[in-house]
Amino acid sequence: MLICAVCGSSNKKISVRRGICIDCYIKDGLIDYIKPIKLTICPRCYRIKKQRWIKFQSFEGIEAFLEDDFKNKIVTKGGVFIHDIQVSLSTNLHEAKVTLDLYLEDYDEITEINLDLPIKLNKTLCESCLRFKTENYEALIQLRTSNSKIVSEFENLLEAMDYEDFETLIKKVKFSYGMDAYFTSLRAAKKIVTEFRKKYDCKYKETKSTVSGMRFRYTLLLDMR
């Protein structure tokens, strides 16, 4: 009969190699150490920076994405492996509640533990939001027409942009002769132009000017005059 060397119990699962029961093994601690957790986030759009800025559609999406990052920060003791992890962030993002399912190799059992982990938060605007804030646009669509119905449909097309692309629209200015729409992204502006030209026949002209170095600013003219 195996007896736990710590508590003397004989009616619990005991590791032959360690000589202690599973309860005493868990009580002794399963985590070796935890590396500092750092998070860089854009306070405007909640993009997370991991080599590049990554956009999420929901707060839950951020939590799911961070699970792998947290998993790499938590170092378990020998013979203990992370089987599953769930991360729940506080609303101010300074703390995370982490639920771990740990596989105990010597006991062939899975046990659950909960941790409250501090997060070193770095808030900085992503490139897109920085451009938005400073109105530093990359592309300008110039719609030129005196037809108010067409201008309204163009405006509806802007409003129908998908969520991520809509964030690249800095501002729109309506005139008696059409509308100007400013974008932080050339790709998003070209998407609008493509959709508009599917419906309307117009003269199209694309020009670019140098802002600085290798940075360019594009003007996309939709001329229906």
Given a cut of 80, whether residue 139 has pLDDT beyond it is yes
Q: What pLDDT was estimated at residue 196?
A: 94
How confident is the model over 59-110, as pLDDT tens digits? 888 888 889 899 999 999 999 999 999 999 988 889 999 999 999 999 999 9
Is the model's pTM score more than 0.75? no
Mean pLDDT of the residues in the chain: 89
Q: What is the number of other CB atoms lying within 10 angstroms of the CB of residue 139?
A: 25
- Residue-range domain boundaries for the chain: 30-123, 130-223
- Read off the pLDDT of each residue in 192-218 and give the average, rounded to a whole number: 89
Give how far the C-alpha of residue 121 lies from the chain's centroid of Cα atoms, to the nearest Å.
14
Q: What pLDDT was estimated at residue 214?
A: 76
Sign of torsion over alpha carbons 209, 191, 158, 59: negative
pLDDT-derived band at 125 (thresholds 50, 70, 90) equals confident
Q: What pLDDT was estimated at residue 95?
A: 92
Structure tokens that stand for 3 in this block: 């007896």
Structure tokens that stand for 120 in this block: 């070193």
- Residue 203: HSE in the Cβ half-sphere, 13 Å Cα cutoff: 6
Kind of pairing between the strands at 203-212 and 215-223: antiparallel
Comparing CA positions, the residue from 150, 160, 148 lying closest to residue 192 is: 160
How confident is the model over 6-58, as pLDDT tens digits? 898 888 898 888 889 999 999 999 999 999 999 999 887 788 998 888 888 78
Sign of torsion over alpha carbons 128, 132, 138, 144: positive
For tokens 């020009």, name the residue. 207
| CATH of span 30-123 | 3.10.450
Q: Does residue 127 or residue 89 have the better pLDDT?
A: 89
